[in-house]
Structure formats: C-alpha cells, structure tokens
Amino acid sequence: MRVDICVVSYRRPQGLQRLLGGLQGLRLPAPAPELRVVVVDNDAAESARPVCEAAADWLSHPLVYLLEKRRGIPQARNTALAASLSHADFIAFIDDDEVPEPDWLCELLRVQASRGADAVAGPCLPAFEEPPPEWIARGGLFERPRHTTGARIEYAYTHNVLVATPVLAAMDRWFDERMALTGSSDTEFFERFARRGHRIVWADTARVVEWIPPSRARLDWLLRRAFRIGTSTAFIDRHRMPRPRSLLRLLGHGLWCLTKGGLLLPVAALRGRAPAARALRLAFYGAGRIAGLLGVRFHEYRTLHGR
C-alpha cells in the first residue's frame, strides 16, 4: 500500500518544521505502508524549501518538495493531487499548523479498511501557542463537532482526511480555484464528493492538534471567521442552487441566523463572554450568508496567522 501525506504550506516554516517532526513520530501499522510526504510551497519566495531540504537529513520517509507560485489554497491542493494521484493508493491531507498524534495515520487506515470507506475524516483539537483569554479557553470556542468512529458523515476538511485515489480520479474536478483565498474550497469539494455517493466516515481516534496563534485567539478574529464562512458557503450554495426560489430560501436562512444571533445576544451576555461570543458569531455568520448571496467575497487568507 502506498500513502502520500500532502501538506500545503505558506510562509509557516516553524509550523512546517513542527509538523514534519510529528510525521517522523508516526506509528505505522504492520505491514507498514510505503509512505511519502508531499509538501506544496505556495510561496513564490520558496520559504518552505530550506525546511524541506533540512528534513531530508532526518526524516525517515521520502519528501517531495513542489512549488506552486499561483497564490491560492485550492491551487496548491490541486498541485498536490496531481503529483500524488498516479503514485499513491491513498492521499492524506494535513495542514502546516498542525501536528498528528502518533497513531493518526494508523487509525485512518484502520477505519478505512474496516468500513470500506472512500474517505475517512478525524478530529482537529485546539492547542494554544500562548495562554488565551480565560473566557476563550473555558468557552470551547475553538472546538469542532465530533462523532462516533465509523459514523457516516457528509463533510470533510483537508486538515485531517484520508481519501482513496481511485475515487479522486473519478471526480470531474478537484478543488475550486475560484475560491483561492476565501477558504472553504475543501467544504465545496467534499460536499460534491458526498453527493456523488462516495462514503465518508469518521475516525474519532485519528486525531491531529492545531496550534492556534495569539492573533486568532481573539473575539474579532472569531467574528471575521464566522462572516467569512457565511460568505464562502453562500458562494457554494449560490452556484449549486442557482434557481430564484432556492436563492430566496438561502437568503431566508441568512436572515434567520442574523436575527436569532441578535435576539440571543442580550440574554447570552448575562451568562458571560463566551455565550455572548457564540450569539455574535451566529449573527456574523448570518450576515456573511446574506453578503455572500449578494456577491460579496471575503478573502480571509490574504492575512497570515502563525509562523
């Protein structure tokens, strides 16, 4: 079995170094798969190259360094797929601000084999580079939904996913390059993936840790992220359901989220900053949905967080 671990990196040499160290510490199943690491540097200045060249001296697995000068997350992901599709049986995606637990890949492969899944997704757990405000730490504002291992789901993200390459080869297109810096191109891809009948299952023991810099552990970033998710998912829905009646339903959903968040805010504020942030986040998401349906694009990834 051949597995490529694909990483898209943009000006995060310290994060990439930390990730490669985590990949070196992976425990592999027996018999061990033939493992290869593919790093796509999305920085025209090649900031990831020195890290990759240095890692060749100590990393146990072959490392392929690729440069994608076109700025854009889906552009870099597509470059990774093009390099891996004819080489590997499975492709695992992980981000350059993450570190896998030692059994991460082993668990993805185990669940895939036991369930016969086309893709397997796992949890992404937050870790803060510096102690965050207490209300953020206690409020769980960076925690994501989790499921029982083996549960079928209809979504996945490239921060922690394993995909069978024959299924990828059958897709009519990969990541949507119109979403270069808006985010959510993986959301759009795996929604299409699931609608085509491909099975995505959950592996709750295949965990990765995401390192959150201080610039993200703030209320203003949480609200900008909610607004961005609203605009980018509206972009997806607007092109998937272009009929006027469907667009009116989507607009109604945005208004409902905006109104509900606003109405919940006074009561939530009495319970503390974290509940108030959740209400505000819902309102900002609703506002983003409305803005996105009106054609607004929010390019969150023009700004770099982390190093």
Q: What is the pLDDT along the chain (307 residues), one digit of tens a residue?
A: 999 999 999 999 999 999 999 999 999 988 999 999 999 999 999 999 999 999 989 999 999 999 999 999 999 999 999 999 999 999 999 999 999 999 999 999 999 999 999 999 999 999 999 999 999 988 999 999 999 999 999 999 999 999 999 999 999 999 999 999 999 999 999 999 999 999 999 999 999 999 999 999 999 999 999 999 999 999 999 888 777 777 888 899 999 999 999 999 999 999 999 999 999 999 999 999 999 998 999 999 988 898 8
Residue 307 lies in a domain: no
Q: Which CATH number is 190's domain given?
A: 3.90.550.10
Answer yes or no: do 105 and 46 share one domain. yes
Q: Is-contact 40 1, C-beta < 8 A?
A: no
32 DSSP 8-state letter: P
Query: How many domains would you assign to the chain?
Result: 2
| Pair (293, 176) in one structural domain | no
Whole-structure pTM value: 0.94
Q: Could you tell me if 234 and 256 lie in one domain?
A: yes
CA distance 121 to 186: 12
Q: Do 253 and 239 form a contact (C-beta atoms < 8 A)?
A: no
Hey, what amino acid is at 256?
W
Q: How far apart are CA 139 and CA 122, in angstroms?
A: 22
Phi, psi of 231, deg, nearest 5: -70, -40
Range of the domain at 6: 2-212
Query: Domain boundary at 191, 212, 233, which?
Result: 212
* Residue 7 exposed, middle or buried by CB count within 10 Å (0-12, 13-18, 19+): buried
The edge-to-edge listing of strands for the beta sheet with 119-121 is 63-67, 34-41, 2-9, 90-94, 160-164, 119-121, 200-202, 152-153
* Claim to verify: residue 256 and residue 175 sit in the same structural domain: no
Choose one of 212, 231, 257: the last residue of a domain.
212
Same domain, 166 and 198: yes
| 104 and 229 share one domain | no
Report CA-CA distances (Å) from 245 to 127, 215, 248: 43, 40, 5
